[in-house]
Chain A
Amino acid sequence: MVLKGMTLSNRRVLRASIQIVAHSVLILGSVLFLFPFFWMVSASFKTSTELLGSAQSLLPSRITWESYDIAFNSTMPLLRNLYNSLFVSINYTVLAVFLCSLAGFAFAKFNFPGKRFLFALMLGTIMVPGVVNIVPSFIVMKTLGWVNTYWSLIIPGAANAFGIFFFRQYIKSAVPDELLDAARMDGCTDFGIYWRIVVPVISPALVTMAIMDFMGTWNDYQWPLIMLRSPDMYTVIVAIASFPAPRFRQPWGAIMAGSTVSVLPPIVLFLLFQKRIISGITIGSVKGA
């Protein structure tokens, strides 16, 4: 940060104070942001009576695995459900990121007849309140024979307007036309341009979208509930909602335990992706060449 007329030591002080202020605010924000999680994890280790006890105890009086026991030893095959979620989410994410970035590239950098109309049409789909779609969508899935299969969770929605819109905006601003012209001059095919030029340039966006797609599909409840019909096909979120429980009572502890467990795989994957961002994806090396 350069400010005219400041001495070196003043600048250092300014820098340090900014950092202190920033960190304090960030840390305060972090505490607020993490608190519900902390509560969830803490609740998952509480005894069932403590769960219903006074809301004041932040931590369980002692760590108990009671809730985890219920969650894993019920008739719900939770491990299998976790596997289902993982399988579906990973495949959906890869497919979605690929298809959406490809289509986003098309809308961003190609000038084809009907583009504006098709783009508006695509955008229109986001604007439709999805509430009443469930029944007709089920009919379509049923016709295709995809009910109660992984297909119904992976294929529909992989190429989605929202992702395409995002990549279109991003590619428009991040990928200079000159780069593409140069590649074309070199005789690159359109797909080749996508694969060799665009993909590396937009990697932060790819990673970002991948994370979001993964989370979105991991946490989906409404759709899998209708599409999946046997416990060993359920994704983990549906499974948590379906824990056997005595009537009229929510199995709080098991839900918290299940939720804690269901959050772990995404977090682990997320941390791995974070490393990828850190390991030196720089736009600068490509742009302005």
Chain B
Amino acid sequence: MNKKLTIFVTLMVILGVLVGCGRPPAETVEDEAPEEPQPTAETAAPTTPPEPAEEDVEPTAPSEFKFSTWGDPTFFEDGFNRMKKDYSAYADVEWIFVSGGEGDGDLLSQLRADWIAESWDTMPDAAEMSTSYIPLLAEEGLLVDLTDMVAPYADDISPAVLNGVTHNGKVYALPWMPNTGMIWYNKEVLDEAGINADDIETWDDYLEAGKTIRDYEFADGVDRYIHNADIAWGPGMALQLMLNQECSSYIDPDTGELAIDTDPAFRRAFEWWVDAYEEGILLGVEEWETPWFDALNEGIIASYISANWMDQVIQFDLEDQEGTWRAMPLPAWEPGGSRAAFESGSANVVILNKPGADVDLAWTFFEHSFLNEDVTGDLTSAHALVPAFLPAFDHPYYSGPNDFYGGQELGKLDKEIQESATCAFNYTQHYYDITDLVMVEIQEVWARNKDVDQAIADAADAVRFSIEE
């Protein structure tokens, strides 16, 4: 009986394989680009970047456009469809979404694999990309130079934002949403504790406000905190914002040298987080996990240092927060100092530099979606996102009061910050390595294993060791 069953199963499976292989799956990726020479074992990587092909571009309209993002593709698809309506030449182009996995890392892995294997037919035509990855990919020639195409619009985007995607003087990505740094706060909690957010102008003020909240006895008897200390990770994003607002980076953009042990701005930011922790004004839960969301919901964490995209979290991830929250620009380090910074994230689109790349199609798509006075505001507001294209702020969604936030004019705030920003953070390809090392040192100080001096020195040593040429 066993034997018969085995034979039967085997036959079924063989049949299945034959049937399955005889009929290829409905939509396989067809080879659009001209045939590429097969890679041999010796060719590890192309040593010179291929030219963006002008000669190789198909004379006829392309049939598909592959776009990759790890986030929500419906936003981009929406933009693409709108573009198709206005550009009849592209009316028949099929939109194909290539999943970028769960995060930037997955997307980068795919691009890398495609690039090394010269797999142009699986590589997307365009992708959404984090600012922090631009230096590496631009350096290695994966991105099409957009300088000339962006040039007419240079005044319509914040110089700091544009600088962020500039590498060796050339623009390699189009920012479509700058992650404008801001602090979101729970107005009800602050009001109850007698704090007026407009009075918070410096980080010292913010720390003091934290003490007030720490000491205040709230009506419901619950302990509250002005912010959270992510004890599993550290203040990664906040630290980067604090540096950016002072035009500091881990690595000095002019000298290329590690700056963390010499830059007073770094030390100041580092110490701030240690002081805040020591003063007990920080709750200690892991961020982006349910308990953290809970704490935000209940106002146990009264504010959060992040960026403009926090709007989506508050509206869609928290419950019943209408009217409760507001946003404010980052406090400055000195009275009157800079209050503008951006954090890295997926805020740009790029065109992949592959042979046969249809730059026209991709750029038309980008231009129509993100640099268009009629379309951009409409498109981004429809998905509750914020544009980098400053004229788009004339759209009613961005120029009027935002009811969800008690009538605050968030669009105006964002635009003001974008316009007053002057510097871009210098990411370099070492950004994640350095961040990991610095975060460990902050945690060491939090755990009372070291003092600040030791921690900064150790961080600098570890980073130098790690990134040495």
Q: Which residues of A contact B (CB under 8 A)?
A: 48-49, 51-55, 75, 87, 90-91, 94, 134-135, 138-139, 142-143, 147-150, 196, 199-200, 203, 225-226, 229-234, 238, 241-242, 244-250, 276, 281
Contacts and interface: CB of A to CB of B under 8 A. Distances in A.
A90 B16 contact: yes
B23 to A, nearest CB: 11
Interface string B65-85: 000001111100100000000
B16 A249 contact: no
B221 interface: no
Residue of A138, A230, A241, A247 with most partner-chain B CB within 10 A: A247
A65 B105 CA distance: 31
A52 B29 contact: no
Contacts of B20: 87, 91, 150
Contact of B319 (A53, A138, A250): A53
Residue of A150, A225, A245, A250 with most partner-chain B CB within 10 A: A225
B119 interface: yes
Nearest to A43: B290
B222 to A, nearest CB: 13
Nearest to B38: A143
Contacts of B21: 150
A226 B110 contact: yes
B194 interface: no
A150 B23 CA distance: 12
Nearest to B347: A247
Contacts of A225: 99, 101, 106, 109-110
A183 to B, nearest CB: 15
Contacts of B110: 225-226, 229
B11 to A, nearest CB: 11
B13 A94 contact: yes
A53 B5 CA distance: 50
A54 B39 contact: no
Residue of A134, A226, A230, A245 with most partner-chain B CB within 10 A: A230
B345 A241 contact: no
A91 B9 CA distance: 11
B28 A245 contact: no
Contacts of A135: 112-113, 116-117
A250 B316 CA distance: 12
B48 interface: no
Given A229-B29, A232-B27, A247-B346, A52 B293 contact: yes
Given A242-B101, A247-B72, A249-B317, A147 B9 contact: no
A52 B25 contact: no
A139 B2 contact: no
A60 to B, nearest CB: 14
Contacts of B27: 230, 232
B104 to A, nearest CB: 11
Given A52-B317, A94-B9, A244-B72, A234 B99 contact: yes
Nearest to A222: B109
Contacts of B16: 87, 90-91
A246 B291 contact: no
B309 A248 contact: yes
10 contacts: A75-B77, A90-B13, A90-B16, A91-B17, A91-B20, A138-B116, A138-B117, A232-B26, A247-B309, A247-B346
Contacts of B106: 225, 241
Given A55-B291, A226-B110, A233-B25, A147 B10 contact: no
Contacts of B346: 247
Contacts of B73: 75, 244
Main secondary structure of the interface of A (DSSP, over half): helix
Contacts of A246: 71-72, 312, 316
Contacts of B96: 230
Contact of A200 (B3, B38, B77): B3
A191 to B, nearest CB: 14
Contact of A231 (B6, B99, B318): B99
B122 A247 contact: no
A249 B109 contact: no
Given A232-B27, A233-B25, A247-B309, A52 B319 contact: yes
A229 B97 CA distance: 9
Contact of B313 (A51, A87, A229, A248): A248
Contact of A249 (B97, B118, B312): B312
Given A53-B319, A246-B316, 16 more contacts: A52-B293, A52-B318, A75-B74, A75-B97, A87-B20, A90-B16, A91-B16, A94-B13, A135-B113, A138-B113, A139-B39, A142-B117, A143-B39, A241-B101, A244-B72, A246-B72
A242 B102 contact: yes
B269 interface: no
Nearest to A137: B113
Given A52-B318, A53-B319, A244 B74 contact: yes
Contacts of B293: 52
Contact of A52 (B28, B119, B290): B290
A270 to B, nearest CB: 15
B297 interface: yes
Interface in B39-71: 39, 70-71
Q: Which 10 pairs from chain A and chain B are nearest by CB?
A: A242-B99, A142-B117, A138-B113, A247-B71, A49-B319, A52-B293, A229-B122, A139-B117, A244-B72, A94-B13
